[in-house]
Each structure stands twice: as C-alpha cells, then as structure tokens.
Amino acid sequence: MTDLFWPGDERAGELMSDAYLLQAMVRVEAAWLSALVDAGLVPASDDVDLTALVTADDVEAIALGAESGGNPVIPLVKLLRSRVGEDAAAWLHRGLTSQDVLDTALVLTMRHVLDRLLDELRAQVTTLSVLAEQHATTPMVGRTLTQHAVPTTFGAIAASWLDGIVDAAESVVDARGQLPVQLGGAVGTLAATTELAGLRDLTDAPSVAAEVVAITSEALGLRTRRPWHTSRGPLTRTADALVACTDAWGHMATDVATLSRTEIGELAEPAVDGRGGSSTMPHKRNPVLSVLIRRAALAAPGLGSSMHLASAMAGDQRPDGAWHVEWATLRTLARRTVVAASQTTELLEGLRVDTERMRATLDHSADDVLAERRGVADLLDAKHDDDPTTYLGFSGDLVVDAVARARTFLEENA
C-alpha cells in the first residue's frame, strides 16, 4: 500500500489493509463454525475451507455492500453462504452478531501490528543500549527551555530515550498479552447459542455456550473474555500503547532534529542518497526521518482520543455510531505507528554522533554551564573545578540503570 498523504506508508505493508481485515473476518467465521461442530451443536458438514472461498478480489463487492447494513460482515456472510453447501450455509454465523466478527477480526489484525512493533522496539532497545554505553562519558551541553544549562553526557541523553522506548515497549507487551475474542451474540448473552444447546438436550446449556467460546478462542490464539460490546477497554488499551510508542519516538526525533541544526551539528541522520534534499536549495540535507517521526507523534494523540471518545459514547448493549468510528481510526493509528517504528529503527541504527562538536560547544560555554557549580561552592566557601567534564552528577549511573533495565526487558521478551 502507498499513500500520497502519508509518505512512507508503504513501510507498513499490507497490515490493516482491506484484504487483511477481510481474511481475518473469514477466519473468525470459520473458527466459530468449527467450534459449533466440536461442541455437538451442529452437524458436521463436508469439510470446507472458508478462507479459500474469499479473496482480495471480493473486497470491492463487500465494501459496496457494507453500507446497507452499516458494516462489512453482513455482505461477507451473504457471500460465504452463497459459496458453501446448504448444510454449512444454514449454520454459518449462527449465534454470532456482526460486532462479534468484526471486533475479533480487528483484534487479530492488531495482533500482527503489535508483533511487528515488538520486533522494531526490540531492535531499537538493542541499538540504544549500545549507543548509551558507548557514550556514557561523552560530555556535552545539557539544554533546558532551549538554552544551555549544565553539562551532561550523550550517554545520559540516550539513556533517557531508552527508558521512554522501554516504557512504550512494555505497554505494547501488555496490550498484546490481553487481546481477547469478542463472542456474545446479539446483546452479549449468547442467547442463541445457549438456546441451541438446550434444544439439543445438552446438559447445562450455558456451559456449552461458554465451551464454544473457549474452543473458538483457542483456535484463534486469543484470550477468552466476557463480551465487551460496549466496554471498549481492549481497543483503547491497544490504542494507548500505540500512542505511547509515538510519544517516545517523537521525543527522540525532536532531540535529533534540534541537535542536527546547522548551527549545532552534534547529531546527524544516516546519510542516504536522495534523502533530505530540497527542491530549490541543493546544499540542504534535511532531517527527514526525524520530521516524519515527529509527524506521527503529533497525529497519534488525536486518533487515540477518538478511540476513547468512542468508548465513552458506546451506549446500550451495542453502540450506534461509536463502534463504527473505531475501525478506520484504529487502522490509521496502527499503520502510522508501524511506519514511525520502521523510521525510528533506521534513524537509530545509522545515527551519527559528532563527539568533537559536542566537546567544542561545551568548552565554548564552560563558564556559563558551570554557574550552578560555582553557586554551590560559594555556599560552602569552597573552591570549584573549572573543568565542565567533572560536573556530570550521576550521569554514569543513569546509563548503567537504563541499560540494565533494557537488558531485562529483552531477556523477558526474546
């Protein structure tokens, strides 16, 4: 996929594409039908692979048919029933509601998104750990409110980036581990499935209905959970994890963009032929990766907010519009986050650190950046050292602690 409105969109590949979602919906229908058979609720029909009956060529027809019912599940079920035998058609989708299928399909597609993000995050944590250790004693000017403050090290700055990315990675792991199925029927009570079990004279019909949910969950590799038609925590939690990622990357990209300014020149993005050029100023090499990462960080919170607003407006037992706004919002947020993840990994792996420029800037401002040190010494009527590289506080400990935490994360999430 490509998108002229979002340069770099192709980095997300087919994640959350129409065809991707369509196949996920078919998987849900197939898993549920198989579970009904396994639980003894419906007769086994001739083996039919539902996933082979629908392809990307069917996307347009299903999309066009979605408006009449307000969602794409209705035309999908109609299409599937037209392509299977009468026995399978009679039992296909029985006991489900459209929201069950689409919510669970969204969860399946988001699982692939989170897996991709974890791959990128692990690579970033590894790269940043090395960078922080390499520059644990590389002195530079610390800046607050855009002005020179006191000395620090580039290792300490990298450690700060590292902590933010590990925070985000932990939220992704948490969201990934809690992805649930949505299987509740019309109002979340599994009434049709329970009724079917009763008509089959099966003992403890509600337990049989619960068993169908468990079988389906296991087949799809998702957590079993009570229906969440209007309790949208699973999706808002996931959206929050995505925003946490762009927050962390945006912080880092902001620093890189600032420190790569011509008049500062302490950092530089990886050099790639053709990247960073200007249409009118051939001398420029713009920090394009940082710019695009910041773009994602600026856009993501609004999309996350839309997910929370939809959650708050999810009324009754099935939402009237609030649910519908989630799909495209989540797709946009997910794809943009994956794109930013890829760009961040590339930025970190090729980041150029000019230690000589850092030291020169520090030496030039030594008198100013040691003002705090002189103030402390004056309080005790003591002498002070004029070497800015000896006023680094416990910056070394910051690096050690951040890297140790990062290694623990990598070991636990290998």
Q: Which residues are catalytic?
A: 278, 318
Using CA atoms, how far apart are residues 8 and 11, in angstroms rounded to an integer? 6
**CB 296, CB 340: distance < 8 Å:** yes
**At residue 141, what are phi and psi to the nearest 5 degrees?**
-75, 135
Per-residue DSSP letter, 63 = H
Task: Give SS3 for 344.
Answer: helix
**CB 106, CB 235: distance < 8 Å:** yes
Using CA atoms, how far apart are residues 246 and 329, in angstroms rounded to an integer? 16
Both tokens assigned to 17: 């594409």
Beta bridge partners of 151: 141
Beta-strand pair 139-144/352-353: unpaired
**At residue 225, what are phi and psi to the nearest 5 degrees?**
-150, 150
Using CA atoms, how far apart are residues 250 and 56, in angstroms rounded to an integer? 35
**CB 126, CB 103: distance < 8 Å:** no
Using CA atoms, how far apart are residues 103 and 148, in angstroms rounded to an integer? 50
Which of 106, 234, 233, 251 minimizes the C-alpha distance to 168?
251
Using CA atoms, how far apart are residues 146 and 258, in angstroms rounded to an integer? 9
Buried b (16+ CB within 10 A) or exposed e, 174-192: ebbeebbbbbbbbebebee
Per-residue DSSP letter, 75 = H
**At residue 351, what are phi and psi to the nearest 5 degrees?**
-60, 135
Using CA atoms, how far apart are residues 38 and 23, in angstroms rounded to an integer? 22
Per-residue DSSP letter, 165 = H
Burial class, 232, CB count within 10 angstroms (exposed 0-12 / middle 13-18 / buried 19+): buried
Residues 6 or more apart whose CB falls under 8 angstroms from that of 144 comprise none
